Amino acid sequence: MILSKWPDIVISDISMPVMHGHQLLAEIQINHPELSNIPFILLTALTDRENTLAGLRAGAADYLTKPLDFDLLLAKLEGCVTRLENDTAVNRSF
């Protein structure tokens, strides 16, 4: 499913019916290392520090809590896009 067209950014809720967001992140990291440069943002209602740290330590680029602040989401997405563009420019120069 995810490999039919590679995403530029992944935003995933943590609490999902089939697979937990942390599991999805681990699944991508283990089974699709070619996607490791794609920013993975966790979105959740779990606001405690332990869940935030667990998500970031697992490799998430960021962690957003609900209720969602759309201005904050947009700023984080813009930052991810800028980093991706910079990485692409650096890779082209080599």
- Dump pLDDT digits (tens) for 59-92: 999 999 999 999 999 999 999 889 888 877 777 6
Q: Does residue 49 register a pLDDT over 90? A: yes
**pLDDT category of residue 2 using cuts at 50, 70 and 90:** low
Does any domain span residue 50? yes
CATH number for the domain including 85? 3.40.50.2300
- Dump pLDDT digits (tens) for 24-37: 999 999 998 888 88
In which domain, by residue range, is 55 found?
2-89
Does any domain span residue 46? yes
Give the CB-side neighbour count of residue 69, counting CA atoms within 13 A.
7
Start-end of H helices in 1-94:
21-31, 49-57, 70-93
Domain count, the chain: 1
Give the CB-side neighbour count of residue 70, counting CA atoms within 13 A.
0
Does any domain span residue 40? yes
Does any domain span residue 32? yes
Does any domain span residue 94? no
Quick count: other Cβ atoms within 10 Å of Cβ 53?
Answer: 11
Residue 44 DSSP class: E
What is this structure's pTM?
Answer: 0.83
